[in-house]
Amino acid sequence: MRDKQIENLKEYKYGFSTDIDSIKAPKGLNENVIKFISNIKKEPKWLLEWRLKAYQRLKVLKEPDWQKPKYPKIDYQDLYYYSAPKSFKDKPKSLDELDPKLLETYKKLGIPLQEQKRLNGIAVDAVFDSVSVATTFKDTLTKQGIIFCSISEAIQKYPDLVKKYLGSVIPITDHYFATLNSAVFTDGSFVYIPPGVRCPMELSTYFRINASDTGQFERTLIIADRGSYVSYLEGCTAPMRDENQLHAANVELVALDDAEIKYSTVQNWYPGDKDGKGGIYNFVTKRGLCQGKNSKISWTQVETGSAITWKYPSCILKGDNSIGEFYSIAITNNHQKADTGTKMIHIGENTKSKIISKGISAGYSDMTYRGLVDISKNAKNSSNYTQCDSLLMGNKCGAHTVPYIKNKNSDSNIAHEATTSKISEDQLHYCQQRGLNSEDAVGLIVNGFCKEVLQQLPMEFAVEAQKLVGISLEGSVG
Amino acid sequence: MEKQLKTDFKKTIDSSDYSQKEIIVKEKCLNEFIRSGFPSKKNEDWKFLDINQAIKSKIDNLNYFNENLPNELDPKIYIDGLEHNKIIFINGRIEKIDFKYEESDKFEIKDQFDNRGLLNNVNSLVDLNLALATKYYKILVKEHYSFKKPLIIYNITTNKISSKNINIRLDFDLKSNSCLKIIDYSIDKSEKNFVNIVYNFSLEKDAIIKNYKLDTAENDNIKYSYNNFNLDTNSVAENFILSLGSSFIKNEINCNLNGKYSSAFVNGIFNLDNNKSHEIKTSINHLNENTKSYQLIKSVLGQNTKSAFQGKIFVKSNAQKTDGYQLSKAILLSDNAEFNAKPELEIYADDVKCSHGSASGSLNQDSIFYIMSRGLNYNEAKELLINGFLLDVVEKITDNEIKNLIKNIMGLKE
């Protein structure tokens, strides 16, 4: 039994859970739980009302069911909507006051929380279950006027900014999971870059689900004011549990005139075991609004974890000359399922978008690219280029491509290409001839296949992602 | 609607000589249609063109009972310059069957209902067709026989039409190593009718079907056509769709590549103007090894037009060595034109070569400049480019005689 456990651990090295006393909201979803969350976070009245409004709407909404990966019905009343480490009731002022057990957890995860590790040069906001536990490098950032903190803190300190932008990209009238998040979101990161500032370092958030039976509902809001630039990274892990856990986050990006936001994700939630038991349901809503002229939003994602991934990071290109980009690698193995892609909504003139999606499926898994390119009547001179390639390993898995293309403007161009194939025998043979074993050869070829996307990641992440690509495919060859 | 359907259904049954068994099947289909109704935008397959909306806004007093009165036949409508066999439908009733170019013992025309070709529960429109089609015909081509001349199916509607909806159903059975060429040609003189056509093809080993569908005459009807193909080993289905005239038409092609080495081709042209909405939906199901499919769809879209292409390539896990290709291109000539595409791949086998592409945009200004610098005016340059753009698809037609006929109809120059 124990051997088996160790064996399992080898496969997903972030599968441990940390024993920490936690405060939980009563199980279930109702107005009282929402009030409880709002109360414990000492939120202003307008936010509570906003949450309740979302909850009212949620009651009449139906869960969508058009997605490819089907899952057993989620009992929303059987979940904890708030779980926080007990020692956090009064938020620690500095890292020294942090629960050592927490610090240890993040050390295991390899996240540079301690400021000593200055060399890493990444400012981190760590979210543990439902609350943000620590944010590093605050001083350096504050000097430039950059706000990087947990969203709860932002609600207290910068209510005007939050009030202005919260829900401006993902309104409470959105789809089921986004509305659920609006009603019960617990914490997340908040970033504001003042006009003309180029953020001197990568900002990063690390999400971790620890407690069982909890859903994680974080909300991230990033605002890049005129002429600013920010690169933001997001990583996530969860302990191994037999039951499925829900993760329904909302991420909103707003780019004003001439601003640029680069958002990178390396998603490595627990994918479930070999037989598809357990794992995270990753139902995330990510949407960016290029509100200003010449603004740019770029999404990069490496999706290797989760039992089911179901998300479409999107760009609304409202400002003239704005640019949207989407780079994605999605890898599914064993019984994982993914239905992911993007939406590019062209509204402004001269808007451009680019989509590069690489899907790899192995084992018994199922991968779907689903995307929408919509060029509206007034988006003169817009263009889109889409490329989505899939690689299949074995005949027990599936790879699907479902693009929706809508062109309503005669001055605009859309080009879409997709291919599906397997790793060619020739390439494998060539590598093996030069002394690589079959596993390494596949790793090399897959890395080449993904290169276009990996290149888009910041250096620190690229290395991690490359390793992750290798690990995710282990045992799928031969 | 339900009451009307039921009374019209009863009239249809009373006026024909269906067996009890057939009536039961038809009743089932009718109930299925009543349950689901005309498909609307909410249905994923009808996302781009909403037939429910179109029927509601165009056709009032929708009724279904076709009295089947004999009609006058005007020989002037025959296509010139091509010797051909004929089946002539006028207002949904077969007026003439003429196979004078063929050996009479090599083919059969049956009018017995055959459960094998049943297509229930495909979608509600096919159910409607099954329930209300007044006559059933099956054309059987015997082994090792190639039709000498193409068969032209004339679908004619006149202003004497007695119902708002006509349903036509034909089955084709091609025995092994046989060959048949069909041209589906419609002439519409009626207005605001809903024409619902279902063809079912089954091909045995080595059989070849060439299916050309021409919708050329300007008309204000709503049309739906569903063609189903079952292909056995090494058989070939070639489809060409010319979508020009109707104000609303959806052509749906479903190919099941059941046998090894079977292949399917779908090529289509939309050349639209004046408020027309057309769609082609294909689903090619690769169900066995070494099967092949090729699809090429091109659109030229003028004022207030809309074209949609939904193409799906499905590859089953045992269908290794599949080769699937699909390309859709569109030129938008007006700011009020709209092109929608949903090229879909659903693949469960690893040793396959599947790809699709889709491109849409305006005419290439550089090309226009190049041609104008050679002395042509703007309109001539534009025409030349569109000519070339569409000719590409017509050239895929493998039958030379028919290719020339279609070129003439379209006024394409080489």
Question: What is the distance in angstroms between the CA of the first residue and the CA of the last residue of chain B?
Answer: 50
Q: What is the pLDDT along chain B (414 residues), one digit of tens a residue?
A: 788 888 888 888 888 777 888 888 888 888 888 888 899 888 888 988 888 888 888 887 788 877 777 778 888 888 888 899 999 998 888 888 899 999 889 999 988 776 666 676 778 898 888 888 878 889 999 999 999 999 999 998 888 887 888 899 899 999 999 999 999 999 888 888 899 999 999 999 999 999 999 998 888 899 999 999 999 999 999 999 999 988 999 999 999 999 999 999 999 999 998 889 999 999 999 999 999 999 999 999 999 999 999 999 999 989 999 999 999 999 999 888 999 999 999 999 888 888 899 999 888 889 999 999 999 999 999 999 999 999 999 999 999 999 999 998 888 776
Sort out which chain A residues have CB atoms less than 8 A from B361's CB and list them. Answer: 407, 410, 412-414
Q: In this structure, what token pair is assigned to residue A372? A: 């929408």
Q: Please answer whether residues A400 and B347 qualify as being in contact, where contact means their C-beta atoms are separated by less than 8 angstroms.
A: yes
CA–CA min distance A141, chain B (Å): 45
Q: Which residue of B has its CA nearest to A415?
A: B359
Q: Going by C-beta distance under 8 Å and a sequence separation of 6 or more, which residues neighbour residue B414? A: B391, B407
For residue range A228-286, list pLDDT tens digits in order: 999 988 876 666 666 777 888 899 999 999 999 999 888 877 787 777 787 888 889 99
d(CA B218, CA A218): 57
B-contacting residues in A 350-389 (Cβ below 8 Å): 377
In degrees and rounded to multiples of 5, residue B338 shows phi and psi of: -140, 130
CA distance B171 to chain A (A): 32
Nearest Cβ partner of B335 from A377, A406, A421?
A377
- Which residues in chain B are closer than 8 Å to A401, comparing Cβ atoms? 343-345, 356
> A161-165: long-range contacts (C-beta < 8 A, 24 or more apart)?
A161/A192, A161/A223, A162/A190, A162/A221, A163/A46, A165/A221, A165/A223, A165/A252, A165/A254
Query: Which residues of chain B have a CB within 8 Å of the CB of A396?
Result: 317
Contact A403, B358 (CB under 8 A): yes
Distance CA A439, CA A450 (A): 16
Q: What is the pTM of this model?
A: 0.86
Q: Report d(CA A120, CA B233) in Å as an integer.
A: 63
Q: Where are the domains of chain B?
A: 2-363, 364-414
Out of A395, A411, A417, the one facing B350 most closely (by C-beta) is: A395
Q: Is A421 on the interface with B (CB under 8 A)?
A: yes
Each domain of chain A, given as residue ranges in start order, spans 2-472
CA distances from B229 to A23, A303, B296 (A): 62, 39, 18
Q: Taking CB atoms and an 8 Å limit, are B345 and A417 in contact across chains?
A: no
Cβ distance A407 to B357 less than 8 Å, yes or no, reads no
Q: What is the ipTM of this complex?
A: 0.85
Q: Which of A293, A42, A7, A58 is nearest to A155 (CA)?
A: A42
